Amino acid sequence: MDKKSKVLLLLGGTSPEREVSKSTGKSVYQALLNLGYEVIVLDPGYGINQPFEVEDYFKEDDYSEILNENYLDAVNLISADQISVAFLALHGKYGEDGTIQSLLELKGIKYTGSKVLSSAIAMDKIMSKILFEDNKVPSPKWFHFQIGEHTTEEVDSKIENQFGYPAVVKPNDQGSTVGLTICKTSDQLDEAIHNAFEYSDRILVEEYIPGRELTVAVIDETALPVLEIRPKHGIYDYECKYTSGMSEYIVPAEIPADVSKELQEIAVQACKSLRCEVYSRVDFRLSPDNKVYTLEVNTLPGMTSLSLVPKMAKAVGITFEQLVEKIINLSLK
C-alpha cells in the first residue's frame, strides 16, 4: 500500500471494552505513523463531537458523551474517497459484532479484519458453538438459555445432568471475559446468572475444562506458533489480560509437537467454520491428558504491548509495524 495513503483509525466505541480499545488504538496509531501513513482518528462513540487533539482520543477520561446512536453520525464524517482503509481498533459490541463493519460497507469504505457476517457470528458464542459442532471443531459441552426461560434451580439441574461443576457462565456476546464467572458450586450460580444478564439477554453455560490456557493466531489462513498463558488468577480474566505482570506468556508453548500441530490445525478450521478473514485469534483449553477444547474465535484481537497476537507474530520474526502493515495489505486484497 502507498505510504502516502490515509488510514482511518477507529477506536473507543461504547462497549465495556472501551478502555482496551483505546490502548489498542494508541499502539496501532504509533505503528501507522512509524510506517509513514497519514492517520485520521475517529471514535464512533463521540459522534460529531470528536476531539481536536489526537492525544485526547487515548486519555482515560472521555472527551464528550459517548452514545450508541453516535456511530452513524461518526461514520458519516468520513467518505470513501478520503481514505484507503479503516483500521478497526474496536473491541466488543458494535465494534466487533458486524455493526461498524456494515456501516463502513454502506459507505464503500474498506476495513481491516473479517466481514459483517463472520464478525456477527464470532461475537455470538451460541452461533459459534453450533458451527463448531457442524464443522467438527472440538469445544466444551454446553447449553444456553435466555432471560425468563429457566429458574436458577432449573439451570443447576441442567448443569448437574450434563457435565457437573465447576461450570462457566458467561454472556452470549461479550469479550475479554466481561460478565464471566466460574461457578465451583451451585451456591455461586444465582449471582453468576445475574452478572451475565447485565451484559446480554442470552447466557452460555459450559463445562469447565481444567488444564492449560493456550491461544493461536491465524493470519491469512496460516497459524502462528502456539502461545501459552499462565495467569496469576488461574483464569485469564480481565485483570490478568490488561494488567502488566499479571500473566506469564510462553511462545512457542512448551507442549508436544503433535499437540502443537493439532492446535494450529484446529485454529485454522475454527476460523474457516466462521468464515473469518485476514486475522483472528483462537482461544483454547488443553486438558491434563492433552485433549484440545476450543473456547472462541476473536475476529478483532487486541493489539497492545500486552496483546497475544503481536507476541506470536514476534516469535516468527514479524515486528509490530510489519504486523500492522500485513493486516492492512491483506484487508485490501
Which three three-digit cell numbers place residue 232? 496469576
CA distances in angstroms from 55 to 27, 59, 84, 105, 229, listed in the order given? 12, 7, 23, 28, 32
User: Known catalytic residue: 283?
Assistant: yes
Q: Which of 298, 307, 325, 331 is catalytic?
A: 298
User: Known catalytic residue: 17?
Assistant: yes
Partner residues linked to 170 by β-bridges? 204
Q: Look up residue 111 and give its DSSP letter.
A: B
Compute the distance between CA of residue 19 and CA of residue 271 in angstroms, rounded to an integer.
26
Q: Which of 29, 236, 302, 331 is catalytic?
A: 302
Closest CA to 245 of 306, 176, 302, 175: 306
Angle in degrees, 0-180, between the axes of helices 320-331 and 18-34, rounded to the nearest 10 = 90
Write down the residue that cell numbers 493486516 correspond to: 327
Q: Which of 283, 307, 325, 331 is catalytic?
A: 283
User: Known catalytic residue: 71?
Assistant: no
Q: Which of 71, 94, 111, 242 is catalytic?
A: 242
User: Known catalytic residue: 281?
Assistant: yes
Q: Which of 176, 260, 307, 331 is catalytic?
A: 176
CB 114 within 8 A of CB 102: no
The amino acid at 263? L
Exposed, middle or buried, 97 (CB in 10 Å: 0-12/13-18/19+)?
buried
The helix/strand count (H/E) of the chain reads as: 11, 13
Closest CA to 272 of 224, 333, 222, 227: 222
Q: Which of 281, 307, 325, 331 is catalytic?
A: 281
Angle in degrees, 0-180, between the axes of helices 125-134 and 116-123, rounded to the nearest 10 = 100
DSSP codes, 316-329? TT--HHHHHHHHHH
Q: Which of 29, 296, 325, 331 is catalytic?
A: 296
User: Known catalytic residue: 298?
Assistant: yes
Compute the distance between CA of residue 122 and CA of residue 95 in angstroms, rounded to an integer.
12
Interior CA angle at 23 toward 109 and 170, to 5°? 90
Q: Which of 17, 124, 156, 277 is catalytic?
A: 17
Query: Which residues are identified as catalytic?
Result: 17, 176, 242, 281, 283, 296, 298, 302
